Amino acid sequence: MCDDLVWSSCGKQNWGNRTCVYVYAYADNSITTGSLDADTFTFAAAGDSSGEASVPGLAFGCGLFDNGIFTSKETGIAGFGRGALSLPSQLKVDNFSHCFTTITGLEPSTVLLGLPADLYGGAVQSTHGAVQSTPLVQNLSSLTAYYLSLKGITVGETRLPIPESAFALRQDGTGGTVIDSGPSMTLLPRGAYELVRDAFVAQTQLYAPDATSSLLSQLCFSAPRRARSDDVPRLALHFEGATLELPRENYMFEFEDAGGGSFTCLVINTWDDLTIIGNYQQQNLHVLYDLVGNMLSFVPAQCNRL
């Protein structure tokens, strides 16, 4: 298992001959350093709070020196990527799903491991909408991330003139579109973001104090009263074979500043040439990863009642 880490050493630096020391860096520049250990993990059985399943010998990192977003309040971070040390890989499950409750709520989110590789028994329609599926795209240069084929973005009733190549995975492994449970915000390449930003400025019936350099580098609008749903245009992400229609609360964030001013901000920003679909856009969305069929399925859901 030690050899599966990007950077590790075994039996060096006076840690002992059987100690695996690791350094792991995240995309946001957070870094954890510690030792790789193994123990028995016990999980609650789905749908039965009294049932449990124990799995011996699961490897995990014991973080000794952590820098970045880590705080003393977290119990830990569960890895769900495609790498050998992720939780699904070690459990050898064919699929997993998650359903994130609202960021402002107190209810816990649900993660399901190893259930049938469909949502709601393969039903085409759930009580909250249609179940849709899109292929997972393999990137040989990044074996842990989950890539999707994003084709375009609609703001309001306008499909934006963003070329598909802006979201596409290149032959050298750069670019592409990743769905990730870690980052909160969705990030777009600069050219695509500027078209999205300009469309929101043109179509939003609220005042934008500064459309190009707003609060926290996000596009924000002054909202002296709680904005009506039609004050902000709809947002849809078009994937290969599926369209994700986002509810307003999954792409706009409302808050008041210290001076009592009210704002609503677009929870989308720009980064580099990689597109990331963040967890804010996945609230109350049941997402299933079929690791064998290489498909991702999703459907709107009340995640606090799953």
Per-residue pLDDT of the chain (306 residues; tens, 9 = 90+): 777 776 555 555 555 556 888 888 876 778 888 888 999 999 887 765 567 889 999 999 888 888 877 766 677 888 999 988 899 999 999 999 999 999 988 899 999 998 766 676 655 555 667 899 999 999 999 889 999 999 999 999 999 999 999 999 999 999 999 999 988 899 999 999 999 999 999 999 888 765 544 444 789 888 765 555 568 999 999 999 999 999 999 999 988 777 777 888 999 999 889 999 999 999 999 999 999 999 999 999 999 987
Q: Which residues pair with 277 in a beta bridge?
A: 179
Strands in 46-84 per DSSP E: 48-67
Fill in the amino acid letter for 103. Answer: I
| Spatial CB neighbours of 21, under 8 Å, sequence gap ≥ 6 | 8, 9, 10, 12, 13, 15, 33, 34, 35, 36
Burial of 179 (0-12, 13-18, 19+ CB in 10 A): buried
Contact 205, 231 (CB under 8 A): yes
- Are 179 and 146 a contacting pair, CB within 8 Å? yes
Q: Considering only the C-alpha atoms of the chain, give the largest distance between any 2 of them, rounded to a whole number of Å.
A: 65
**Residue extent(s) of CATH 2.40.70.10 domains in the chain:** 123-305
Q: How far lies 267's CA from each of 182, 218, 246, in Å?
A: 15, 7, 12
Please tell us whether the domain made up of 123-305 is placed in CATH 2.40.70.10: yes
122 torsion bin: left (phi>0), alpha (psi -120 to 50), beta (else): left
Q: Tell me which amino acid residue 133 is.
A: S
Instruction: Indicate left, alpha or beta for 64 from its phi (over 0: left) and psi (-120 to 50: alpha).
Output: alpha
CA separation for the pair 116, 98 (Å, rounded) = 14
Q: How many CB atoms lie within 10 A of CB 202?
A: 12
CA angle centred on 280, ends 274 and 281, rounded to 5°:
70
CA dihedral 186, 90, 61, 71 (to 10 degrees): 30
Query: What's the pLDDT score for residue 178?
Result: 97
Cβ atoms within 10 A of the Cβ of 193, count? 22
Run of H or E including 254: strand 252-256
| The pair of three-digit structure tokens given for residue 225, joined into one six-digit string | 């009263």
Distant-in-sequence, close-in-space partners of 252: CB < 8 Å, separation ≥ 6: 227, 232, 264, 265, 266, 267
What integer pLDDT is reported at residue 256 of this predicted model? 78
Q: Whole-angstrom Cα distance, residue 56 to residue 172?
A: 39
Torsion sign, CA atoms 201, 204, 209, 214: negative
Measured between alpha carbons, how far is 2 from 167 in angstroms, rounded to an integer?
34
Q: Are 280 and 267 in contact (CB under 8 A)?
A: yes
